[in-house]
Amino acid sequence: MKYTIANFNKVFKTDDDCLAYVFKYRFGNPACPKCENMAWYKVNNRKCWACGKCGYQIHPLAGTIFHKSDTPLKSWFFAIYKFANSRNGVSAKELERDLGVTYKTAWRMAKQIRKLFESGSFKLNGTVEVDDSYMEKTTRHISKTETPKALAMVQRGGAVKAVVIRKAGMLNALPMVQSEVEKGSNIMTDSAPLYIGNLPDYKHQAINHSKGHHARGEVHTQSVDSFFAQVKRSISGTYHQVSEKYLQSYLDEFSWRLSNSRSGIPLFLLMLNRICQLPDVGVEKI
């Protein structure tokens, strides 16, 4: 289901419309903790609601990515809308142009928005494709001796998890698979020695790419290969390169977008709901 710019402009005409949305979906119709009254009113020229009986105030933006920000709330919502509707990501320069803010503000907004994509504690199951890939062409390296790798786990028809790893070794990648994939699941990999014989808790099958094999019935890694291709193509095309320090946040973004693309709910609304459900995500003044 698409959420168009016409839908956006109809619902979120002003900053107050955006503020009312956050209040509604964070608190619903709350009883006042002081007097148990349930009648609230918006305080003029302030980003808060007050109890109609005792004056107790609720600040709906406290603890969210909007907290202490001087940037108009509608600009924040529009930036989130762009992230939700972009397949290839949104650069800070694009936000700078579209929102009329400084590059520094746009960069910090993008950084805060990416916090909404952080992976949850759920585990993958069913049939899960696993692979690792060097990210040398997409990152500006902190270390001159080690090129960062990413390990991706794609549940067919379901969620995706991807993490930055230093080396795809026994002490690194395999514990991550064991941590993020339920035991007994079907694991599909290539024929790298890393995986062969080292996944005893799973039903493991491998495809030998070195022999030109791409699929053997249901045994393939096409989904995880496609994920890496999308990530690398998007980073190269939109950002050219990203700092190794923030690579994980970009992987989280692309993982979250693919994981939720089949939900039937507009990604923009899912992102807004994450803001309303996950306060105290760690904020910076913008």
Q: Looking at the structure, give the CATH architecture of the domain made up of residues 127-246.
A: 2-Layer Sandwich (3.30)
pTM as predicted: 0.88
User: Mean pLDDT throughout 72-87?
Assistant: 96
Checking if the pLDDT of 144 tops 70, the result is: no
Could you give the residue range(s) of every CATH 3.30.420.10 domain in the chain?
Answer: 127-246
Q: What is the dihedral of CA 93, 96, 98, 99, to 10 degrees?
A: 160
Angstrom distance (rounded) from CA 137 to CA 69: 34
Tell me the per-residue pLDDT of 21-61, one tens digit each, with 9 for 90 and over.
Answer: 999 999 988 999 999 999 999 999 999 999 999 999 999 99
Task: Express as a percent the part of the chain with pLDDT over 90.
Answer: 73
As a residue count, the chain comes to 286
Checking if the pLDDT of 13 tops 60, the result is: yes
Tell me the per-residue pLDDT of 97-132, one tens digit each, with 9 for 90 and over.
Answer: 999 999 999 999 999 999 999 988 899 999 999 999
| Nearest to 237, CA basis, from 245, 229, 246, 247 | 229
